[in-house]
Amino acid sequence: MAHAYTPGLRVTRATIFRKERVLPLKGQVIVKVGDQLTSEVVVARTVLPGKVELINAVHLLGCEKEEVHELMAKKEGDAVRKGEVIAQTKPLFGLKFLQTKVKSPIDGTVEKISEITGQVLLREPPQPVQICAYIDGKVVEIIPNEGVVMETICTFIQGIFGVGGETWGEIKVIASSPKEILKADKITPDVKGKIIIGGSLITYEGFEAALKNGAKGIISGGLSDSDLRKLLGTDIGVAITGTEDIGLTMVVTEGFGDISMADKTFNLLKSREGSKASINGATQIRAGVIRPEIIIPWDQKVEMSIESADSERGGMAIGDLIRIIREPFFGRIGKVKELPTDLQVVESEAKVRVLKVEFDDGKDFVVPRANVEIIED
């Protein structure tokens, strides 16, 4: 039988983590295998072709398409400056003020003069683009003309949802427990340049205080959808994020609403307080899912048992720690008590595969298997 899909987000104390750092177009790689880099070091660079400007010369000159070529003051490949004349009509009766001139709206080059359309295509100068290492670590592979693969031994935590792109900073734990709601009064000027750790929720005012005080990132158990709308100024329809410009990066570990951060996640982040973390809020929930990430490199001299990033876990087993990810017990954590094989009818009358979960207070409940996620060890 096909496996039931049981999503699980990684929360790992130490793992070997690899990250591809590639350019959007082919270019030049400027580091070599074995280089030990910090996050801000540039690893590869290239130039993006400039933007294109189409000039409707035939219309502006009031001539026939075939005549455009002979009225051009510049030819294909010539450099042009903004305001420079690129084409002009012949002076009428030798009077220059009766002459029509077409000026370039940009600095760039003449790429094409089309006889078919009578248009002139100008292109702006190429834009330099560079890509940095993003994590503190070692270059383990060069992808020729494209980029590198970075490797580090780190604490690795996946969030469920995030906004904002790549950033890095020192971890500072603000919440005293994973259940605490992070409010503005606890966020002081010493969060500048830091990635701050909250508990079950961060309020909108808390977010504003973090921004005002110069925090680079926030990690929180929950976030209210109405606050997210206020932050972005729009309602997110489809979960494709990472390019928002809200002044910092936000990673949510559990979901929307007031949900305690999982103890394991909170304790792990607390144990790494003061370390440098690289985080990215980019989320894509569709085929080829991307979740937000928190990478906290270890000093490589420290010895530890390393969990492989590629280790595949089997299906769910009795005793596994799980989190319920849909009502009625949304956010609660418990242990798998039974895994019945037959389909069962739940309250909505859907006939589904279920499991019995036991909570800390000893009570047990039946929930659909699709509505739980394994908390990975």
Partner 1 sequence: MPEKPVKLDVILATDCGSTTTKAILIEKKDDVYRQTYRGEAPTTVEAPFEDVTKGVLNSIQEIEDLSGRKFLEGDKIIMPSQGNTGVDAYISTSSAGGGLQMMVAGAVKSMTAESAQRAALGAGAIVMDVLASNDKRLPHEKIERIRHLRPDMILLSGGTDGGTISHVAELAVVIAAADPKPRLGISYKLPIIFAGNIEAREDVKRELGDKMALVITDNIRPVLERENLMPARLKIQEQFLEHVMAQAPGYKKLMSWTSAEIMPTPAAVGLIIQTISEKLKINVIGVDIGGATTDVFSCYDKVFNRTVSANLGLSYSVSNVLAEATLPNVMRWVPFDIDEQNLRNRIKNKMIRPTTIPQELDELLIEQGLAREALRLAFDQHKLLAVGLKGVQQERGISDAFEQSASGETLINMRKLDMLVGSGGVLSHAPRRQQAMLMMIDAFQPECITYMTVDSIFMMPHLGVLTKISEKAATEVFERDCIIYLGTCVAPVGNAREGDKVMNYRIEMPDGSIIDEILNYGELKLHKLGLDENKLPMEAKIEMHPTRHFDAAEGYGKIVKNRVIRGGVVGIVMDGRGRPLQTNPDRAKRIQQIQSWNAVLNCYPQRGGSR
Positions in 163-222 near partner 1 (CB under 8 A): none
* Contact string 296-335 vs partner 1 (x = CB under 8 A): -----------------------------xxxx-x-----
Cα–Cα distance between 88 and 93 in angstroms, integer?
Answer: 15
Amino acid, res. 120: V
Q: Do the Cβ atoms of 307 and 315 come closer than 8 Å? A: no
Interaction between residue 239 and partner 1 (CB under 8 A): yes
Interaction between residue 145 and partner 1 (CB under 8 A): no
Our CB check for partner 1 shows the closer of 106 and 197 to be: 106
Name which position in 30, 33, 54, 98 contacts partner 1 (CB under 8 A): 54
Provide the pairing of β-strand 354-358 with 364-368: antiparallel
* Contact string 257-286 vs partner 1 (x = CB under 8 A): x-------------------------x-xx
Contact segment (CB under 8 A) with partner 1 among 29-37, 39-47, 209-217, 252-260 equals: 252-260
Residue count of the chain, please give it. 377
List of E strands, 32-78: 36-37, 42-48, 52-55
Tokens of 304: 């530890």
Cβ-based neighbour number of residue 277 at 10 Å: 29
Amino acid, res. 67: E
Cα–Cα distance between 306 and 311 in angstroms, integer?
Answer: 11
Minimum CB–partner distance for residue 327 and partner 1 (Å) = 6
Cα–Cα distance between 105 and 48 in angstroms, integer?
Answer: 20
Minimum CB–partner distance for residue 190 and partner 1 (Å) = 31
Name which position in 151, 170, 373, 376 contacts partner 1 (CB under 8 A): 373
Interaction between residue 245 and partner 1 (CB under 8 A): no
Interaction between residue 342 and partner 1 (CB under 8 A): no
Establish whether the linkage from the previous residue to 178 is cis, with ω within 30° of 0: no
First to last CA, the chain: 26
| Three-class DSSP category at 113 | strand
Our CB check for partner 1 shows the closer of 156 and 161 to be: 161
| Residue numbers at the binding site for partner 1 (CB under 8 A) | 1-3, 5, 7, 51-54, 65, 111-112, 114, 116-119, 121, 160-161, 224-226, 228, 235-239, 255-257, 283, 285-288, 325-328, 330, 346-352, 367-368, 370-371, 373
